[in-house]
Amino acid sequence: MTYATDRIHEEIAYIAYHFHWSLETILDLEHRDRRRYTEQIAALVHRGAGER
């Protein structure tokens, strides 16, 4: 099974936007770790939006 290129770019943009990491740093992450970071960021963003 292959992972959609568009999805990878979305994950990269999401992590880069929130963590300000370089493309190389994000691409060096294992797929599982990159997905975990995107899920954690989403949870933080969602939680932060609910506190307003």
* 15 exposure class (CB count in 10 Å sphere: 0-12, 13-18, 19+): buried
Residue 48 has what pLDDT? Answer: 83
C-alpha 48: how far from chain center: 17
> Which is more confidently placed, 25 or 52?
25
CA 8/CA 3 separation, integer angstroms: 7
pTM of structure: 0.79
* 17 exposure class (CB count in 10 Å sphere: 0-12, 13-18, 19+): exposed
11 pLDDT more than 80 = yes
pLDDT digits (tens, 9 = 90+) for 12-43: 999 999 999 999 999 999 999 999 999 999 99
